[in-house]
Each structure stands twice: as C-alpha cells, then as structure tokens.
A and B are shown apart, each in its own frame.
Chain A
C-alpha cells in the first residue's frame, strides 16, 4: 500500500509537472488560435490532467481497482540477488549501454560493439573464451556488413573510418 501511494504521488507529480511546467515551457501556442480545441497545447493538457488524476486516485485509494492478477513472472526470493547487488548490476548495465552511445561518434559502432558484447557475456556468466571472442567479433561485423553493403545504410566507424574500403 505504501509503495502504491508513493507511485501514485510520483504519477501525480509528473502530471502536474507536465501541466504547469513542461507545457508552458515546451509547447508554443500562437495567439490567433480560432478554437480552443485546435490549440497545440489542448491535447497535451488533457493528457497531463488524466495522468495527474490517475496519480491522485492511486494516492488516495491505493490498491483499489486492482484485480489481483499478476502479469509478472514470480521468482523465488532465493533466486534473486540482494537489492544492493541488483542496483550495482543495474548501474553497470546502464553505464555500459549509455557508454556505448557516447562512444558512437568517436569510435563508431563496430569496435565498441565488439568490446560491449564480450563484456556483457562475461558479466552474464559466460566463460567460454573462444566462443565469446567469436560471437563478440562476428555480431557487429556481420551487422556492419549487412547494413552497409546490402541495405546501403552507412554505419559510423568513428576513428576507424579510414579502414572503410
């Protein structure tokens, strides 16, 4: 119930933030709008209001409207690492993903891709080094070949651009 209230508070805050801060700052509405329903901010305001109302409902009536159905797979607590360990692992994965994105303009997609796959396989517990090396090298290279040669889509190589034949 407490978690549900916090989530509801978060959704309410998000709705209010969009309504009172993001829409005035991010939606330009011309002065000569002929009808209210045609204004560029009409639709976003309705959506933000619905979002805030849903948050308010969750805050005031936590758990109400729930059917008890569970769409998430249930795992035994023993199968899950501790919260601190999970947060650490989550941080590592997100750092790897956003690190890859930051590297694209500098090193392209292929070289960081090889390191990225190899590191993630190791992180996930794979220890067959030759298999890891083969998969890590083959995947970005095959994707590079497919997109550049077959689909005609240039894939960035960054500092390795000189290698492009």
Chain B
C-alpha cells in the first residue's frame, strides 16, 4: 500500500496537476456565482479541454470545477438573493437577511469555512469509507428515498414565517408547480396545455430567481421613496475562529448529513442542505432567528451542500454508478481516457485512484484560498447603491434565465414567478416552504409512485425496512417538536 501511495504522489506531483485543480476551482467559483450558469454546465463546458490532458490532470480539473461551483452558488445567494444553484437556495434563507443587516462579509466568510470544512470531511469519507458507504447506499430503494424526503419536508413547518397555515399553503403551491410536465409513469400531459415548453416541467433556476430575487427588486422600485437610503450592507466585519467554533456542531452535523446523502445516487446537494438546515434549527438555542439572519443557518446549509461533494464520488469510484449529472460527466471523462470506474479500477489502477485522492484533498485548501480572495473582490458588489445594483442584477437574472436552456420561455417563467413571489411577499406568505416543496416535490412523488409500482399499490412497502422506520420515527418526533414550539408561541422563523 505504501508503495502505491508513493507511486500516487509521483503521479500527482506535477505542475499540470496542481494548476489544473486550482484552475478548476477558480472556474467553478465564477460559474457557480453567475445565475444561469450551473455547475453541471461548467463541468460540461470544461470537459472538451480534458481530452488532450493526462487522465489525472483532466479529472482533477473537472473535480475542481465541481467543488468550486458548489461554493460559488452561495455568493450571489447571500449578496443579491439570486442562488446560482438549487442547493444554494437554502443559503438564501439566512444569507440574504444577514446582507440586509450589514453582515454580508460575515455570511460569506461562514459559507466559505463551512464549505471547506464539509468538503474536507466529505473527501476524508471518500478516501476512508468508500466501500462501507457504497454498500449502505445500495440499500436505498424508492421507499427509503420517499421516507427520507418526507422527513426533509418537515422543515417546512419551521420556515413558515408567522403563519403555519400560510406556510403549508405556500408549500402546496410549490408542490403543484413541481407537477407541471409529462407524467413520469404514463407519459401523459400534466398542466401542459399544448405548450411544448412545459413538457420538461418548469426549470429550477428561473423559478428560484423569480421567486427570490425578483420580488425584492420589484418591491424596491414600487416602494422607493425619495431620500430612502439602503442599509450599510458591509458595515459588519468578517467571521473568524469564534464564529466558526460557535457554529461547529451544525457544520459537523451538516458535513456528515452531506456525506451520507451524497453517497446515495440521485439525492444531490439541495435535500442535504435543507436537512442540515432543519437539524441545525431544531438543535439551536435561537430557532426563532432562523430565516431572519442566523449565521448558523448559513453554516448548516453550506455544510450540507458541500458535504456531498466528495461523497458523490463514492458510488462512482466504488461501484461505477454516477450519483448525479456532474459525476455522470466525470464518468464520461474516465471513459474517454479508457478507464472504467468500479471495483476493477481499484485493483488495476490503484495508483491513479490514490493520485486523485491527493488532488481531491488539495482542492479543499484551494477552495479556501480562492474563496477568501473572491470574497474580498465580490463582496464589494454589496456596496453598490441599490438604484444602480438592482437594474444590473435584473439584467443578470434575465440573461441567466435565458442561458439555462437557451429559452425565451424560461425568461417568461422567471418573470411570472417574480409576480407570484411579489404577491406572496405582500400577502405575507413565506417563500421558503414553496421553494423546499418545489425542489423536493418531484423526488417525493417519483419515489412514492415507484414504491407503489413495486408493491402493486400496497402502502406497507413504505415501512419495509429499518431505514424507512427510522425516518418515520424521526418525522413524527420532528413534527411533535415543531408543533410544541409553536404552541409555546415561539415564532418559527421565515
């Protein structure tokens, strides 16, 4: 083994490798920070450049983009309430209120620390527990997924703002919007109304931008009174060791949630971020502050989001199964170089695997350096007056919504969601339940229906395994805790 590790160092220690992962992280952070540019898009854009590279160099470049993109999505989520990725939408909940309170720098710092730590934990899990976690992940079938998502949805009760009834109505609206598109079992139309643009459902990013960024901007233009000044968004200092230590439990918990969920193919960063956020809120001494600018909320969301980064490589490397779109692209890169991930690769190309592990560990350090630098550069955006910033942000949103699918229709979706979001804002319906339900809704329905197909309509399949039962118990306990909190009139954030 030591000989293999020595060979791996020899294989990894080249300028090309060190530079490619650094370049990947930089590209990823920039792409993640632009609404309309998604991390899978970034990885796909960079893929052709890897064809002529050595396998390790090329794959490290792609991994760098992946890890940078996960963090980059949080920058615009915190600064301008426009999440660059669906997973970063959880960061909006507390990140943007912190910006409004003048603590943007602190939120960005905490997002970076939580991201780097979670990324590091995830990488360690990949290196040390790949076999174990891959075996656990294989025990997840549709009923287990369904119960996991039901448990994740309990956080809706915690982010419903001042009215639980309105929160549930908002979530129902989100679930309803998520049903638009072709039915996945029968292939029939659902709310398409002969518009082929709706066949694939509503795109995530235009809906997210429309729901979060636009209402705030529309309200600014509608309500703007002469002489009104904006908040001193950067008046606070950055976050340091003291803040990191205060949030450490939530960061560690979020990292572990990310590792477990990331190792399960098909889950992705968004459910992990929301689950981590919900757990942080449940365990916090200040649950009422979540959704109103709680630093621990930013830390938990980012830890959950980035904790999946290394872990999604577990099913890919250990089983040859891509867990999401990005790892599917990375699988393509392996195959282009004549490599087939899976148990055989561990036997035949262990040196290459170790070299990748070394590069992956280095990426956490690069992420910290690049993140620190980008915070200084990008956080100046928050100092621009709203009368200049908001028209520019609107243009960024319009270009971004178009660029996702090269579709003018997506621009319309974003604008209409902006109107829906504005109505929700003035009628005091919390937007986070809508968002959580919209993101988790398709997973919930698909896994429920797959379970029903497997059991021929027998609901007992939803209790078939220990994993299902554990999630049901957690769901009931979580709801009991949340309703008790409400009964004691603790305002549940939002």
Chains A and B form a bound pair:
yes
The complex places the Cα of A79 from the Cα of B226 at a distance, in Å, of: 8
Contact A120 B394 (CB under 8 A): yes
Q: Which chain B residue has the least Cβ–Cβ distance from A88?
A: B222
CB within 8 Å for A26 and B176 given contacts A69-B161, A139-B392:
no
Contact yes or no, A101 B225, CB < 8 A: no
Interface string of B150-187 (1 = CB under 8 A from A): 00000000000111111011001101100100010110
Task: List, in ascending order, chain A residues with CB within 8 A of B193's CB.
Answer: 25-26
With an 8 A cutoff between CB atoms, is A151 at the interface?
A: yes
A40:B292 contact, CB within 8 angstroms: no
User: If A47-B175, A152-B45 touch, does A7 touch B221 (CB 8 Å cutoff)?
Assistant: no
A92 shortest CB reach to chain B, Å? 8
Asked whether A54 lies within 8 Å of B169 as measured between CB atoms, the reply is yes
Q: Which of B84-92, B304-312, B361-369, B397-405 is near enough to bind chain A?
A: B397-405
Which of A66, A75, A120, A126 meets B162, CB within 8 Å?
A66
Indicate if the CB atoms of A154 and B406 lie closer than 8 Å.
yes
Residue interface bits B202-242, CB-to-A below 8 A is 1, else 0: 00000000000000001011111110100000000000000
Residue of A with least CB distance to B100:
A73
- In the complex, are the beta carbons of A109 and B169 less than 8 A apart? no
Q: How large is the interface on A (under 10, 10 to 19, 20 to 34, 35 or more residues)?
A: 35 or more
Bitwise interface map of A from 101 to 112 toward B, beta carbon under 8 Å scored 1, else 0: 100110001000
Bound: A159/B370 CA distance, A: 41
- Given the contacts A69-B494, A89-B222, A139-B392, A126 and B186 also touching, CB distance less than 8 Å: no
Is A121 in contact with B225, judged by CB distance below 8 angstroms? no
Tier of interface size on chain B = 35 or more
Asked if A13 is at the interface (CB within 8 A of a chain B CB), the reply is: no
Residues in B neighbouring A105, C-beta threshold 8 A:
408
CB distance from B439 to the nearest CB of A (A): 15
Tell which of A47, A71, A156 touches B161, judged by Cβ atoms closer than 8 Å.
A71
User: A30: CB under 8 A from chain B?
Assistant: yes
Q: Which residue from A65, A94, A109 sits with its C-beta under 8 Å from B218?
A: A94
User: Is A147 touching B399 in the complex (CB atoms < 8 A)?
Assistant: yes
CB of B85 to closest CB in A, whole Å: 16
Bound CA span A120–B390, Å: 9
- Do B408 and A156 touch (CB < 8 A)? yes
Contact of A135 among B392, B398, B418 (CB under 8 A): B392
**A34 near B: Cβ within 8 Å?**
yes
- What mask results when residues 29 to 60 of chain A are scored 1 for a CB within 8 Å of chain B, else 0? 11001111110110110011011001101100
Q: Decide: B162 and A71 in contact? CB cutoff 8 A.
A: yes
Q: Are B190 and A143 in contact (CB under 8 A)?
A: no
Q: Which residues of A contact B172 (CB under 8 A)?
A: 15, 47-48, 50-51, 54
Q: How far is the CB of A105 from chain B (nearest CB, A)?
A: 6
Contact in complex: A18, B176 (CB < 8 Å)? yes
Residues of A within 8 A of B415 (CB): 97-98, 101
* Complex Cα–Cα for A73 and B293 (A): 12
Q: Which one of B3-11, B449-457, B473-481 contacts A? A: B449-457
Do B179 and A47 touch (CB < 8 A)? Answer: yes
Could you tell me if A125 and B387 are in contact, using CB atoms closer than 8 angstroms? yes
Knowing A30-B188, A35-B457, the reply to whether A101 touches B179 (Cβ < 8 A) is no
Interface status of A11 (Cβ within 8 A of chain B): yes
CA distance A17 to B291 in the complex (A): 32
Count chain A CB atoms within 10 A of each CB in B165, B190, B396, B457 and give the residue with the most.
B165
Instruction: Give chain A residues whose Cβ lies under 8 Å from the Cβ of B120.
Output: none
B492 sits at the interface (CB 8 A): yes
When the two chains form their complex, are residues B224 and A55 in contact, meaning their CB atoms are under 8 A apart? no
The answer to the question of B346 belonging to the interface, with a C-beta cut-off of 8 Å to chain A, is: no
Of B45, B169, B218, B391, which one neighbours A117 at CB under 8 angstroms?
B391
B189 adjacent to chain A (CB < 8 Å): yes
Contact of B291 among A7, A11, A71, A153 (CB under 8 A): A71
A79 touches B228 (CB 8 A): yes
Task: Please judge, given known A-B contacts A123-B221, A139-B392, whether A67 and B387 are in contact too, CB under 8 Å.
Answer: no
Q: Is B52 an interface residue (CB 8 A)?
A: no
A121 touches B165 (CB 8 A): no
Cβ of A123: which chain B residues have Cβ within 8 Å of it? 221
The answer to whether A54 and B165 touch (CB under 8 A), given A71-B291, A125-B226, is yes
Distance A113 CA – B226 CA, assembled complex (angstroms): 25
- A133: interface (CB < 8 Å): no
Task: Kindly state whether residue B192 has any CB partner on chain A within 8 Å.
Answer: yes
Within 8 Å CB of A58, what residues of B?
A: 165-166, 169
**B442-453 contact mask (Cβ, 8 Å, vs A): 1 or 0:** 000100110011
A67 and B224 alpha carbons, distance in the complex (Å): 29
Q: Is the CB of A81 within 8 A of B391?
A: no
Further contacts, 7 of them, CB under 8 A, given A37-B452, A104-B402: A28-B190, A54-B165, A68-B491, A70-B162, A71-B292, A135-B388, A139-B395
- In the assembled complex, 21 residue pairs joining A and B whose CB atoms fall closer than 8 Å, in A order, are A25-B193, A27-B191, A28-B189, A38-B452, A43-B179, A50-B172, A55-B169, A69-B491, A71-B161, A86-B223, A109-B402, A116-B394, A116-B395, A120-B390, A121-B391, A124-B220, A124-B224, A135-B392, A140-B395, A143-B399, A144-B399
